[in-house]
Amino acid sequence: MALGVLSTSAAPSQPVLRRLLRYLRPFRRTLAIALGLLLLATLTDVAQPFVIKTFINRDLIPRHFAFADLWLLGVGYLGLIIASAGLNVGQLFLFQQVALAIVRQLREDVFQHVLDLSMPVLDRTPVGVLVSRITNDTEAILQMFMTVLSTVVQNVTVLLGILAAMLWLDRRLGLEFILVLPIVGAIIAVYRRVSGPVFHQAREYLARLNALLNESLAGMALIQAMGQEGRMRDSFHAINEAYRRARLKNTRINALLLRPLMEVIYTLAIIWLLASFGVRGPGAINIGILYAFLTYLGRVFEPINGLMQRLNFFQQAMVSAERVFELMDEPDTRPQAIDGDGQITAGHIELEHIWFRYGEGPFILKDISMNIPPGATAAIVGPTGSGKSSLMNLLMRFYLPTEGVIRIDGQPLERFSDRELRSKMTWVLQDPFIFVGDILFNIRLGDDIGEAEAVQAARLVQADSFIRALPEGYHTPLGERGATLSAGQRQLLSFARAMARQPVILILDEATAHVDSETESAIQQALRTMRKGRTTVMIAHRLSTVVDADIIYVLHQGAIVEQGTHESLMARQGRYYAMFQSQDSGLPD
């Protein structure tokens, strides 16, 4: 099932619950201690009505009030209350500690899996859907674990303890009450069947809401520039209203199914208990046991009500867990190395008869062959849609060719590990991504690169001067996407990031596309520095930036139609010549 597709299955599958329970294994010792505290807390809770029963039967009814006995009962009763409170605090803390640790690990597992997903999967999955899986859905699972590991386990233990106490006090009445429990079980089963699809819909609408929010915030400038505020508001309202209706439907189910039926059962149980004692006659009634039974009857419905109410959390968590595991089950289809022992040393790139298409669509690249010697600069030009970016995706091994072979230093691309490729081949995007953090962090980007190396890389690409002019220099914090920097400064920063890695092969994706002419001059100087001594493949829209390339490949409709140096292509007066002339005259190419 594709991510983000609405699912309305009624009940969570057992494998989902089993997969969640696997996360409990590393915490078995802590869980054992918490369960021990919980059992002791339950014993202290269940023992309290016994103390009152003893007082009624031994002291109150005979009117035999011995101060020592009363003091002992009072101290014992107070001790049970204090012990119960302390034990419950302890078990609750341990259970919630385990729940938080489990969801922390689950989030890290999901995020790691997203990092490992192939580009085709990431390209077709909305960012908001991924964000919702990692944040909202795991948060629902956290609430479930906190509830199940503390409240639900406690409720079940208290319920069993109360039933045992009832059987101890009066076996016949205890057995009669146990016969009521299947009715409660039937209510739970009906509730799950009715509310399951509603929870699925609510979680799906919430994911869609997140996806729309992420998309809108990222493209707010375009939305305002194109006057699309009304359309986006309507879309948001439609999804938000659908989410409201789904949650309201769930509220109605709770209001009409859970509370009324539980209140009826509780009332009938009270009537049954009084009637049972009434049938025995006045002489057979034990007031202490009657009090204890009435107390237990009030308490037994507290855990039952708690379990019923916690079904909300359980249903939400199971729906969320299905969605999280759906993402985690998305196979890692990234192209992998065959043996991974290849090493890039010179940077000689060869493409032999490359054909490529996305899925079952039309071919984007058709019979592409290139030979880029070590240290040479190759430019790839052509109109929009000619296949330039697809070719870069193949070089970076984000995708594999449908047909043909790509070689580096004589070895197929599949022979190189991801680590070798990413360390020896660096891609500079036309719209460089700047992370939240300081300048130095964005140059080093977590790699084992010293501060001196980062500063030297910035100097080489002419970025050092503008960085030092910032309020805190290399330690100046940057906001999301580097919004406080100009387009040219962001590009120079991305150049410094590339140079700090000292790549053998440099991939430049329209590096001057979004900068003015004055800034372009500085960037061109930086590019010349970067290209020295390394193989460079550059996509360019501005043909003035490729005139000194060693070889230029002209793409049109996915095929190479011309190749050569700038001078030879201009002399041919073909497609490249026409494109260059149109740009030089200011006309669209």
* Average pLDDT of every residue of the chain: 79
State yes or no: pLDDT of 523 exceeds 80. no
Comparing 10-14, 115-119, 252-256, 363-367, the range with the smallest average pLDDT is 10-14
The model's pTM is 0.64
| Domains along the chain with CATH numbers | 14-328 (1.20.1560.10), 349-584 (3.40.50.300)
Residue 534: strand, helix, or coil: coil
Q: What share of the chain is helix, strand, coil (3-state, %, to 5)?
A: 65, 10, 25
Reported confidence tier of residue 12, pLDDT bands at 50, 70, 90: very low
Tell me the CA distances in angstroms from 169 to 365, 366, 554, 578, one per residue in order: 83, 86, 92, 100
CA distances (Å), origin 214, targets 208, 549, 588: 10, 40, 34
Least confident of 144-148, 380-384, 575-579: 144-148
Mean pLDDT of 221-246: 78
Mean pLDDT of 161-172: 77
pLDDT at 565: 93
The helices-and-strands tally (H runs, E runs) of the chain is 22, 12
In the chain, the N- to C-terminal Cα span, in Å, equals 43
Question: Measured between alpha carbons, how far is 239 from 128 in angstroms, rounded to an integer?
Answer: 14
Model confidence at 551, pLDDT cuts 50, 70, 90, reads very high
% of the chain residues with pLDDT over 70: 76
**Mean pLDDT, residues 237-247:** 85
Provide the pLDDT for residue 521.
72
The CA distance from 551 to 350, in Å, is 13
- Measured CA angle at 370 (ends 365, 374), to 5 deg: 140
Q: Is 187 exposed, middle or buried (0-12, 13-18, 19+ CB in 10 A)?
A: middle
Q: Does the pLDDT value for residue 161 go beyond 60?
A: yes
User: Is the predicted pLDDT of residue 20 greater than 70, yes or no?
Assistant: yes
Residues 269 and 339: their CA atoms lie apart, in Å, by 71
Confidence of residue 6 (pLDDT cuts 50, 70, 90): very low
| The pLDDT of residue 134 is above 60 | yes
CB 462 within 8 A of CB 526: yes
Q: What are the C-alpha distances in Å from 586 to residues 8, 115, 286, 582?
A: 56, 43, 104, 6
Which whole number is the average pLDDT over 437-451? 83
